[in-house]
Amino acid sequence: MRYPLKVPPPSSTLQHINTSTLQHFNTFKYLRPMSVRIDDTIVALATPQGVSAIAVIRLSGKDAISITQRVFRGKRLETQPSHTIHFGMIWDGNTPIDEAVVSLYRGPKSFTREDAVEISCHGSPIIAERIIKLLMRKGARLAEPGEFTKRAFLNGRFDLAQAEAVADLINAETDNARMAALNQMRGGFSKEINHLREALVHFASLIELELDFSEEDVEFASRDDLRRLVNNIQQYTSSLIKSFDQGNVIRNGVRTVIAGRPNAGKSTLLNAILNEERAIVSEIPGTTRDIIEDEVVMGGINFRFIDTAGLRETVDVIEAMGVERTREQMKKAALILYLFDLSDTTLEHIEQEEAELKSLGIPYIKIGNKLDKSKPDLIKALRNKDFVFISASNRTHLDQLKERILSRYHLDVTPGDVVVTNLRHYHNLVKTHEALDRVIEGIDNGVTGDLLALDIRDALHYLGEITGKVTTEDLLDNIFSKFCIGK
């Protein structure tokens, strides 16, 4: 395609340029290099392994209904309409296996958009296994982890970010996590990202077009407009990137390490928080040598509390290993609850310990424990120094401690909130943002179109990977292999 040479690109011709250049742009192959076998029919148990009232076996694929028909005696399934249920008997040849209810879904009105069947049988592992094996003999293949959701994605039911939200929804351990996953599954940021991506594709295509005219020194793509667009996109990516702090807490909870000198009352505090005698408490310093941890939901957030060996120099080899582990745990923590034994320390020691603690660069809360046995002078000296004073063994002021912990996290996800909870999305947003920084830098430095185009392509690539506009088989495998079988 060539334009009449002498004609400059007035804005009135842009409309005309757009459609043809978009075709031109498609030759960049931002298309899915997909080689997925999707013509066979898959089967898997959709409910947990083990004894239950009902087990559900799920089939999807073009032969889902006819394969089921071969083992089912009741109504003729193949003539039944979509979204109907049918009672009957599953037979293996002349052997009855179980009574079952079969739900029929005809594509595209199903989760995978393919024909699909759900067989509800009695919840015995041997029944479910027998039926699945039978269906495999009749032509179904055992599904891989996440393959149902993968098919839903490949068949365009939703994009990749939404597919990933399905797994998050299943695995949600708190109401906030459930809400965030549901919001994402229902569209979340996908629409906005696609919208921004399209605008960027438009610019990329104009810039690519300039390359065809390099000898003409023309600019089809207004650099000012491009800068404005990139700023716009960056505003959005920044806000999404920021939301990950919160999103990470929602999805993965908060790793909270309880640390301090031996005998400060760490194990007592863990037990008090968990409300059970989880860790051994004793007056002998150095009792806790291994890491003990458990989860508690507070304020809609999952906290993983980790009790550690007390920090001190020691000649005991085992204890020393414990201390080493404590240091590792502290570095990995999202929050450290640092305990001081008010009955057995001084202001100088406290300041020394805090200096060490601060140097880790991890958020911490200072707790003065053994309030019941503390020296009044010390408490006075520590007032206004941001301590929470408690007695772990008497369980006093634990509410204040809880409030202090929760005050760091303001989480209340409501319907429609967009929060990035997925590490992959977060990484891609950061990379998009960086690529766009380079675009702006390029515009500022007046670099040539071909260089701008490179960075724009990078940004497009990373944005596209979030929603699955750009995918590779590896990426998909990586994502869906983390799902459970049957989902």
CB of 303 to ligand GDP, least distance (A): 18
CB of 436 to Mg ion, least distance (A): 49
275 part of the interface to ligand GDP, by CB under 6 A: no
Decide: 200 and 460 in contact? Cβ < 8 Å.
Answer: yes
257 part of the interface to ligand GDP, by CB under 6 A: no
Binding-site partner at residue 194 among ligand GDP, Mg ion, none, CB < 5 to 8 Å by type: none
User: Closer to Mg ion at the Cβ: 285 or 299?
Assistant: 285
CB of 270 to Mg ion, least distance (A): 8
393 part of the interface to ligand GDP, by CB under 6 A: yes
Spatial CB neighbours of 272, under 8 Å, sequence gap ≥ 6: 392, 393, 395, 398
Among the listed ranges 66-74, 95-103, 261-269, 397-405, the one in contact with ligand GDP (CB under 6 A) is 261-269
Q: Which amino acid is at 128?
A: A
User: Closer to ligand GDP at the Cβ: 46 or 264?
Assistant: 264
Decide: 161 and 466 in contact? Cβ < 8 Å.
Answer: yes
Residue closest to Mg ion (Cβ): 288
User: Closer to Mg ion at the Cβ: 288 or 422?
Assistant: 288
**Residues forming a β-bridge with 121:** 55
267 part of the interface to ligand GDP, by CB under 6 A: yes
Q: How many residues bind Mg ion (CB under 5 A)?
A: 3
Binds ligand GDP by CB under 6 A, chosen from 67, 392, 413, 466 = 392
Q: Whose CA is closest to 470, among 436, 440, 430, 428?
A: 428
Pairing verdict, β 335-341 and 254-260: parallel
* Measured distance CA(28)–CA(209) in Å, rounded: 13
User: Closer to ligand GDP at the Cβ: 181 or 367?
Assistant: 367
Q: DSSP readout, 165-203?
A: HHHHHHH--SHHHHHHHHHHHTTTTHHHHHHHHHHHHHH
271 part of the interface to Mg ion, by CB under 5 A: no
Decide: 90 and 96 in contact? Cβ < 8 Å.
Answer: yes
CB of 151 to ligand GDP, least distance (A): 51
**442 token code pair:** 């390029």
Q: Which amino acid is at 272?
A: A
Binds Mg ion by CB under 5 A, chosen from 190, 288, 345, 391 = 288
* Cα angle: 164, vertex 165, 166; to 5 degrees: 90
Helix or strand or coil: residue 95? strand
Residues 211-270 interacting with Mg ion (rule: CB under 5 A): 266-267
Q: By the criterion CB under 6 A, which residues form the site for ligand GDP?
A: 260, 262-268, 281-283, 287-288, 310, 369-370, 372-373, 391-394
Q: By the criterion CB under 5 A, which residues form the site for Mg ion?
A: 266-267, 288
